[in-house]
Every structure is written in structure tokens, then in C-alpha cells.
Amino acid sequence: MINLGQKFPEFKKQATVSTAPGKEFKDITNNDHINKKRWMVMFWYPKDFTFVCPTEIIDFNDKFKEFDSRNCDVIGASTDTEFSHLGWMTSHPGLKDLHFPLLADTSKSLGEALGILEDGEKIAYRATFIVDPNGVVKWVCANDLSVGRNVDEVIRVLDALQSGKLTPCGWKKGEKTLN
């Protein structure tokens, strides 16, 4: 798996950004957040049309404004196609109005570069990356396929990283940091 302090791999991938006809797809790259001088959270999930995945995607969507207020872009990603993403977004009530793109890594090249594909089907583990505005990986977390992640913890870690200070265990924004 890619390590802390490394540059996030270069990519240009098709993503599903909307269910509106004619506005469904767009290319996104590793430079999009850098050009805007924003942080990026990219979270990977195994497959569309599954059970745990929508719970995570919906939670990221429900907390989208919290990420945006922290100058942070959110990208969901899997090895499914942009058409599968669109079908899932259209058919699942909780996914109809996502505020962030779902990246389609159909070639699995980005998943391989990140080192997050399981051995069998080569689907992605539940990996989450926080990347700074310079494209450097600052946090990595990976869960087994059956375990959903905690979006509040992603926000907490983002806050800690953005504070630029030493933060104790369980620290939350607004609390005292260490000297």
C-alpha cells in the first residue's frame, strides 16, 4: 500500500458526477484538488449494488458540507464502470443526489498503484486516503471488505492534520493541542 509522505499517484479517470441527462460523466485527475489548493479525501469501496458500500457513501454525502467547509474535495472510487455507478445512483434512493464524484477505475491501474486491490477479484478494499493540497498522502486507513469505515473519524483526522499541531489521542477540533 502507498505510504505516508508519498505523492498520490497521477491519474485521469472517468467519474459519474450526476444523474442528470447529459451531465452524468466527467474526467477527474489527481491535479484537480491541487489546482484549487484544496485537500482531497478519496475513499474506495469494493462494488456497486452491495450492502455495506451505500451506508458509507450516504454518510460521506450527508457530511459533504463538513468536508467542503474544511477546503476538502471528496471522491468515492471503485473498480466498477461509470455506467454501473450511474445505474446504482439512479436506482438507490440514498445515492440519487451525491455531492461528489464516483470514480471508475475500470483498468484497476489506480487501485494497483495504491496497493489496495484484494487478490481474488481484484476489487478494492475499503481504503481511505487524505491528501494535502500538494498531492502528498497524509493519512491512510484500510478496512477488510466486510467492515464499514467511520466518516466522523476521517473528519477528525482531517481536522488534526489541518491544525498543523500535535494532537493527543481522540483530539477533536477546538480542543487543546500539545506543545
- Given 53, 72, 141, 169, the catalytic residue: 53
141 catalytic? Reply is no
Is residue 40 exposed (0-12), middle (13-18) or buried (19+ Cβ within 10 Å)?
Answer: buried
| SS3 at position 122 | coil
How far is residue 74's CA from residue 40's CA, in Å, rounded to a whole number? 6
Q: How far apart are CA 46 and CA 14, in angstroms?
A: 17
Residue 70 carries which side chain, given as an amino acid letter? R
Question: How many angstroms separate the CA atoms of 50 and 26, rounded?
Answer: 24
- Would you please indicate which residues are annotated as catalytic (active-site) residues? 53
